[in-house]
Chain A
Amino acid sequence: MAEQIEAEIVANVLKVVAEEGQAVAEGDTVVILESMKMEIPVLTESAGTLSKLAVKEGDVVQEHDLIAVID
């Protein structure tokens, strides 16, 4: 089942760590967000392939915005 990774908090996309098409393990960092003056890593909750990366560095994400899909 595909895992949709959504933003939990309004944030700037500080750094994109993973690449589309890449294999990921559970707990890998996909992107690093910046919010509340903190750098918050966004981690995968399942292993698979990063089939979609919906953000780029400098983007602003709102709560529930899609960040990535793991298949």
Chain B
Amino acid sequence: MTSVLARSQSAATESDHRDPLLRLSQLLDVDSVTSLHHPDDSGVLAVRGTIDGSPVFAYCTDATKMGGALGLTGTRHIVTAIDAAVREGAPVIGLWHCGGARLADGVESLHGCGRMFSAMTRASGKVPQISVVLGPAAGAAAYGPALTDVIVMAEQGRVFVTGPDVVKTVTGEEIDMEGLGGGNSHSRKSGVVHVTVGTESEAYSRTRRLVGFFGKPGLYDLSRIRGERNLRELLPDSPRRAYDVHPLVHAIVDAEKGGPVFEELQPKWAPNILIGLGRLGGHTIGVIANNPLRKGGCLDSLSAEKAARFVRLCDAFGIPLLVLVDVPGYLPGVGQEWGGVVRRGAKLLHAFAETVVPRVTLITRKSYGGAYIAMNSRSLGATAVFAWPEAEVAVMGAEAAVNILHRRKLAAAPEEEREALRLELVAEQQRVAGGVDRAMDIGVVDEVIEPRHTRRRLAEALAAAPAARGQHGNIPL
């Protein structure tokens, strides 16, 4: 029961950019769109098509009909697309511009939305699900995308459970749709959106790129890695100085047309950790990196949750992980403790510990304490752990350790000799407990690598590990 849809068929409604066929035709390869159902008034168009020649399924809410509101039939079309994608092992993409459940359909529409949520959850971890929010997506249309793996939002996109009118009635807060659920709010404050873009056409091209990372993981080709630069130059000379980790990540992943092959996710939310999809030696990888420029690169509740969900996403789809570590510890504070950093930080430990994909760690500068363990340590099952020559691996920094371990000795020393003694003890502590030698002795670091060999050694280690894929869904942690 399929019908081939050509782009010209939409000529009658071409003036309306909300036409679902027009939208899907822009996302998918030219002339590849085939409907999964007869035309109807359900408010949803579900199709199969291709992206760069690979099969995908897609659905789009029809904002020209009752604001794209979802009824029983519309949600059934979405379920059909998702179930077909799972059967064929193809990615499924949803385009959202939808006011929520159809009021006129009553509880029946709620039932339909619930079945749609069930289908999304069944498909979770089996096939990549990407949501593209093009206009308002309220209520059920907000939770639909939230159950999928990646959310892309265009400038007219708005996501909220209840809109400004209800918010004002209930809480008295006055805010417009953009302030409540626009790109700025969701990219910085809530972390709901992974990729924020400008125009709709930009949303489609970024989505096609994302689908490529999942759908075409590629093969390792180590001959692509040539003429390596000294990546140490991208870090400040002083080990105390914070820096932005982006240039390092961009220098490690493959380049194409002069730019890095890298799509960062949630770049402005919990920015003390960086996550994103890229390629190394031609193969898709997931990158996780502490960013010392923000909060010193400390792990905290939000960054642990951000990284944990990403680790599980990559594991579910067999995407190997590269973990770049420069972390001073977990962020201390009453706010963190009462905010549940113990409960929420545990998600990252759990995520790494259960992960079966190849996952390689590089410690560039320092890795301390509980955060050392959490950042894909040997104990959590890292495939390989590398360190640059100056790296420090310890329970805490040498100075802090000395102040605790030798508190009495320091207090007993005469005032004028105390500082000299402290410096001596710090040097001793660094030598016996902090350097990378001790970490290698006990087998938690495999190899010290020269910064200029970084790309090659990381790619070799990832390529040598047997491919694997976790058997689990990608719960929105």
Flag whether A47 is at the interface (Cβ < 8 A): no
Tell me the bound Cα distance from A60 to B298 in angstroms: 19
Establish whether residues A40 and B296, one from each chain, have CB atoms under 8 Å apart when the complex forms: yes
Comparing B80-88, B207-215, B219-227, B234-242, the segment that makes contact with chain A is: B234-242
Tell me the bound Cα distance from A18 to B54 in angstroms: 52
Chain A residues within 8 Å of chain B by Cβ, number:
12
A60 CB, nearest partner CB in chain B, Å:
14
Beyond A8-B294, A9-B295, is A63–B400 a contact (Cβ under 8 Å)?
A: no
Contacts of A48 in B (CB 8 A): none
Chain B residues within 8 Å of chain A by Cβ, number:
19
Establish whether residues A39 and B295, one from each chain, have CB atoms under 8 Å apart when the complex forms: no
Contacts of A36 in B (CB 8 A): 296, 298, 328-329, 331
Nearest residue in A to B236 (C-beta to C-beta)? A39
Establish whether residues A37 and B240, one from each chain, have CB atoms under 8 Å apart when the complex forms: yes
Q: Which A1-29 residues have a C-beta within 8 angstroms of B? A: 8-10
A24 CB, nearest partner CB in chain B, Å:
17
Beyond A10-B333, A40-B242, A63-B335, is A35–B296 a contact (Cβ under 8 Å)?
A: yes
When the two chains form the complex, which single residue of A9, A39, A41, A43 contacts B298, counting CB atoms closer than 8 Å? A9
Task: Give A contacts to B, CB under 8 Å.
Answer: 8-10, 35-41, 43, 63
Task: Give B contacts to A, CB under 8 Å.
Answer: 238, 240-242, 272, 292-296, 298, 328-329, 331, 333, 335, 397, 399-400
Q: Give 26 CB contacts A-B under 8 Å.
A: A8-B272, A8-B295, A9-B295, A9-B298, A9-B331, A35-B296, A36-B296, A36-B331, A37-B240, A37-B328, A37-B400, A38-B241, A38-B242, A38-B296, A38-B328, A39-B238, A39-B240, A39-B241, A39-B242, A40-B242, A40-B293, A40-B296, A41-B242, A41-B293, A43-B293, A63-B333
